[in-house]
Every structure is written in structure tokens, then in C-alpha cells.
Amino acid sequence: MSGTLSSFVRGNDRVSPTESLHIEVIADFVCPFCFIGKRRFDKALQAVQSPSDVSWYPYQLNPDLPAEGVPFDDYLSQRFGSPAKAEPVLGFLAAQGDEVGIEFRFDRIRRVPNTLLAHGVMQLAETLGKNQSALAEDLMSAFFEQGLNIGEQEVLIDIAGSHGLSAKDVREATGSEKIKQLVLIREGQVRSRGLAGVPGFLINRRVLVVGAQEPENFINAFDCAMFGEATDELASPALH
């Protein structure tokens, strides 16, 4: 992770000490650390029981993937040399997932999707006042636990439907050049301020936690963001 909190949040953007929490989550749905980090973050948020609201910012882990995605084995070969060489990493992720109730099923994944359309659906959810965190949970679960291609419009329609988003609205959002450009602009804002790895959790615009941290680390960051002095240092290093 390059840069500091001061490069991500300008001094006049910071929120004054408060007993409530506003968290902006920066993540991608095909990032296993984002899934693990979200589960740990959720546990920490439940523990503190402070008034809170959570919003999500788009971040594409693989922005250069073709619109149709790539075969999973090809993706592993590009990153690790071969699928066999990726096995230790996948085993580590599976063990980490078990600890937070995630059943990573890498054997079910056939394609790694381009996630631009999925981020567009998240943008739609925000516009319509839907629960983005619940939708993000289901998008990640669909990919990592069910092996679904969340880059396909019909898959997104099925997932979004359980969150009160109509098929008509999802079709319009995933086909909208305006929404795609909005997603890219928002992602560009995040990248331009120095965030080079995800997940990231910006708390009250005062503390930035990077990586799939343990719940205790999140709780400490919540306390600092609500009552402590703002700092220009990252709360944690990036994990990847």
C-alpha cells in the first residue's frame, strides 16, 4: 500500500469525533480477501453496537479482463504459473474462510468475470436505497461458494432480485453507459488517492484500515475513528 491517509482523505474531509460510525468499504467481489475481510468487519461491527451506516466504493481487482471474463485455470496460470502451483494459496484461503464461515469452492469456479457490471448493480442499489452490504455478501458468495459467473446479466438479475431490485432496473443498469462511467469515475477517485490494494475500510473519514484484518483490529480502529485523534498513518498494511 502506497500513500497515507492524508493522500486518501483531505484534512477538511475528516469527520469530527462522534459516537456513530460511517464506513466506506472499497472492495471487489472476486477478491477472496475482500470476502474474508467483510466477514471479520461484520463481526466487529456487531460487537461494538454503535449506530452505523456502510456504503461501498467500486474497485476492480482485474480491470483489464475482457467483458466475458477468462477461464479460471487460465487466470491461475497467469498469476501463479499453473493451477497446480496455486493450490497452496487456495488451501490457505480455504482455511481462512473456514474461520469466518465461508466455504470457498474453487472447484466450482469456471470463469473469473469482469466485475464492472456487478459494480453497476451495486451503484443501482445505492441509488435506490437498498442494503449494499447484503448485496455484496451475496455477490461474493455466489462467486466463491456457488461458482456462479457474476459477470453475466441474468446471474446478476437473480441475485439482485432477492434484494428488491427489479429485473428491468438491473437490465437497464447493466446496459447503461452512464452507470459504467460513474463506476469507473468513482474507482478512479479511489485509485488516485493512493489505494492500491483491497479491501479498504475508511472509517469516519479519519482512519483507513487496509486488508482482511482481525475483528479486534477493526474494533480498535472504530474506537480511534470515533474518539481518537486523526492520524496520517495507515491503520494497517495491505495484505496483497
CATH number at residue 196: 3.40.30.10
| Alpha-carbon gap, residue 121 to 230, rounded angstroms | 33
Average confidence (pLDDT) over 141-148? 98
Rounded Cα–Cα distance for residues 218 and 171 (Å): 36
Q: Is 239 a domain residue?
A: no
The model's pLDDT over 91-128, given as tens digits with 9 standing for 90+, comes to: 999 999 999 999 999 999 999 999 999 999 999 999 99
Q: How confident is the model at residue 235 (pLDDT cuts 50, 70, 90)?
A: very low
**Its pTM surpasses 0.85:** yes
Measured CA to CA, the distance from residue 47 to residue 24 in angstroms comes to 18
- Is pLDDT at 185 greater than 70 in this prediction? yes
Q: What is the rounded end-to-end Cα distance, in angstroms, of the chain?
A: 8
Query: What CA–CA distance (Å, rounded) separates 22 from 210?
Result: 16
Question: Which residues fall within 8 angstroms of residue 228, CB to CB, at 6 or more apart?
Answer: 17
Is the residue at 172 inside a domain? yes
How high is the mean pLDDT of the chain?
A: 90
Rounded percentage of the chain residues whose pLDDT exceeds 70: 88
**In this structure, is residue 237 part of a structural domain?**
no
pLDDT at 193 over 70: yes
In a domain, 240, yes or no: no
69 belongs to a structural domain = yes
Which residues on adjacent β-strands are paired with residue 210?
200
Can you tell me which residue has the cell 495507515?
234
The pLDDT value recorded for residue 61 is: 95
Per the CB < 8 A criterion, the answer to whether 26 and 60 are in contact is no
Q: What angle do CA 61, 35, 22 make, to 5 degrees?
A: 95
Of 160, 179, 187, whose CA–CA distance to 57 is shortest?
A: 187
* 210, 234 Cβ separation under 8 angstroms: yes
Into how many domains does the chain fold? 1
DSSP letters spanning 80-91: HSSHHHHHHHHH
Asked if residue 233 belongs to a domain, the reply is no
pLDDT at site 182: 96
User: Is residue 236 over pLDDT 50?
Assistant: no
Task: Return the pLDDT at 2.
Answer: 28
Task: Check whether 176 has a pLDDT greater than 60.
Answer: yes
Digit-coded pLDDT (tens) for 10-69: 555 555 556 789 999 999 999 999 999 999 999 999 999 888 999 999 999 999 999 999
| Domain containing residue 137 | 5-227
**Is 238 among the domain residues?**
no
- Helix (H) / strand (E) containing 202: strand 200-203
Query: Which of 26, 38, 27, 25 has its CA nearest to residue 101?
Result: 38
The SS3 assignment for 211 reads coil
Q: What percent of the chain has pLDDT over 90?
A: 82
Residue with cell 476492480: 60
Q: Is residue 146 part of a domain?
A: yes
